[in-house]
Amino acid sequence: MTTLSSTKDTLPNLYDLSLADMERLLADWAQPAYRARQIFRQLYVNLADTPLTMTDLPLTLRERLAAETRLEPLTPEQVQTADNGLTRKALFRLPGDALVESVLMIYPDRATVCVSTQAGCGMGCVFCATGALGLLRNLSSGEIVAQVVWAAREMRRFAAGRQPAPANPPADDAWWTPDDLESDAPSVPQSSSASRLTNIVFMGMGEPFANYDRWWRAVEIIHDPRGLNIGARSMTVSTVGLVPGIRRLATETLPINLAISLHAPDDDLRSAMMPVNRRYPLAALLDATRDYLAATGRRVSFEYVLLQGKNDEPEHAAKLAALLRGEAGPAGLPLHLVHVNLIPWNPVPGMPLGRSERRHVLTFQRILHERGIACTVRVERGVAIAAACGQLAGGVAR
Ligand code: SAH
Ligand code: SF4
């Protein structure tokens, strides 16, 4: 049994292979290159879950693929739904027993999957459920790709069984229902006309830049127009602020979007919330961001988790504005390329922290606006099923 499974582990995982890799493998097998394109299409357009159903290939090739490669689609151990079925969180058990989660969020006109890049996370941010686990292991490229394939399949099922959408789908950008001012419940559409997976956010468990090579290979596979065909502009990576990763992303040819977790306007507070700040303090982070903006000309968003009484006071907002404008020491940033995304903290059981009240969030936002900084409040999905930002803990924290 052990021998069998360890032999299997050494076989190439099809989800790990770019199309070029697949062509090389097929060339080694004395097969023409178009066979590789057929397999790629089977994996990412037809969403085949075994080589045996790839009926446009000769039977002998299908059998060889089944014997000499691995195809390991992810089957969730559990799926939890919220928001009228438009938010779906899947729990996957990976080889070695690591648990990771992905969240599919269906909007009126698009569908986004939030993907994990590591099992657990070693960055230790004090407000994050994944951080509380520590790092269990990096995910392989194939394990990252397989989460996207799960979401693409889920969307195919959704589109097949969907009820017709209402003529005027409710807006998905309202954070509170207007007539329920004290409620934290986001306003969620009742249905959707989205028919396929359109967007990817690398904001699930883990720090993508701590697993850069495998993560980037996954990005390239997910982007390939001959497969899943997700546009670079429809992908967003979020980093805790690993400066070498930001610098490296600036040199990549695929223009994916960057979000940076800032969360505090000065080094003392940021270091207390995010140990990574001791290694890459704000001045270094802003330097890297400035260079990234100059190199790419693409907008960056700064995420700012609002913790009641810790970093959500008017003075924090004013300090944050001063920091970004270059009035606080480090040089400022080109403000037309900067966007701040406020995220009221999503509760994690056992953490002695609180979610900011609505009026504090709105005051914070107003102060940034007054100082010329674009700022929105993130609409959260799936808070009730612990599927929102920072709540993913592989079924452990609950
Ligand atoms: N490791 C990356 C990406 C995953 S976390 C990063 O830290 O950026 C995605 C976002 O969720 C980050 O901005 C993170 O700071 C934020 N987050 C973590 N815990 C949270 C919580 N409990 N409530 C709201 N946001 C949280
Ligand atoms: Fe890791 Fe991001 Fe959570 Fe920090 S916020 S512990 S970097 S997953």
pLDDT in tens, 189-245: 677 888 899 999 999 999 999 999 999 999 999 999 999 999 999 999 999 999 999
Q: How far apart are CA 137 and CA 104, in angstroms?
A: 23
Residues paired with residue 92 on neighbouring β-strands, in sequence order: 100
Specify whether 95 is located in the same domain as 111: yes
- Residue 223 and residue 81 in one domain: yes
Coil vs helix vs strand at 67: helix
pLDDT of residue 166: 43
**Same domain, residue pair 44 and 167:** no
Give the position, in ligand 2's atom list, of the atom nearest the Cα of 131. 6
Cα–Cα distance for residue pair 86/286, rounded to 1 Å: 36
Residue 50 sits in the same domain as residue 157: no
Residues 240 and 206 in one domain: yes
Domain boundary residue, one of 48, 68, 88: 68
Q: Which atom of ligand 1 is nearest to the CA of 204?
A: 4
Domain boundary among the residues 68, 85, 119 is at 68
Token pair for residue 99? 């648990």
Residue 87 sits in a domain of what CATH number? 3.20.20.70
pLDDT in tens, 308-327: 999 999 999 999 999 999 99
Task: Please indicate, yes or no, whether residues 11 and 104 belong to a single structural domain of this protein.
Answer: no
Domain count, the chain: 2
2-36 residue pLDDT tens: 445 556 778 999 999 999 999 999 999 999 999 99
pLDDT of residue 9: 78
Domain residues for the domain of 271 are 76-397
Could you tell me if 57 and 178 lie in one domain? no
Same domain, 175 and 50: no
Whose Cα sits closest to atom 8 in ligand 2?
206
pTM equals 0.92
Q: Answer whether 158's CB lies under 8 Å from 75's CB.
A: no
Q: Please check whether residues 49 and 161 belong to one and the same domain.
A: no
User: What is the pLDDT, as a whole number, of residue 397?
Assistant: 43
Determine if ligand 2 sits within 6 Å of the CB of residue 119: no
Q: Is 100 exposed, middle or buried (0-12, 13-18, 19+ CB in 10 A)?
A: buried
Confidence of residue 77 (pLDDT cuts 50, 70, 90): very high
* 60 and 81 share one domain: no
What pLDDT sits at residue 182? 37
Cβ 279 vs Cβ 124: under 8 Å:
no
Tell me how far apart the alpha carbons of residues 100 and 205 are, in angstroms, rounded to a whole number. Answer: 7
Q: Are residues 206 and 279 in the same domain?
A: yes
CB of 149 closer than 6 angstroms to any ligand 2 atom: no
Among 47, 68, 89, the domain-final residue is 68
Torsion of CA 272, 273, 276, 281, to 10 degrees: -70
Q: How far apart are CA 74 and CA 145, in angstroms?
A: 10
Ligand nearest to the CA of 276: 2
Q: What is the mean pLDDT of residues 149-172?
A: 73
Residue type, 179: D
**Complete DSSP assignment for 105-167:** EE-SS-EEEE--SEEE-SS--TT-HHHHH-EEEEPPHHHHHHHHHHHHHHHHHHHHHPPPPPS
Q: Are residues 92 and 117 in the same domain?
A: yes
What is the domain-level CATH number for residue 41? Answer: 1.10.150.530
CB 221 within 8 A of CB 143: no
Q: For 85-114, how does the pLDDT look when each residue is reduced to its tens digit (9 = 90+)?
A: 999 999 999 988 899 999 999 999 999 999
Confidence of residue 172 (pLDDT cuts 50, 70, 90): very low
A 10 A CB-CB count for 284 gives 15
With a 6 A CB cut-off, is 65 part of the ligand 2 pocket? no
Mean pLDDT along residues 255-262:
98
Looking at residue 378, its pLDDT comes to: 86
> Is the pLDDT reported for residue 125 higher than 70?
yes
Q: Is the pLDDT of residue 66 over 70?
A: yes
Ligand 2 centroid, distance to 259 Cα (angstroms): 13
Share of the chain above pLDDT 70, in %: 90
Chain mean position to CA 144 = 10
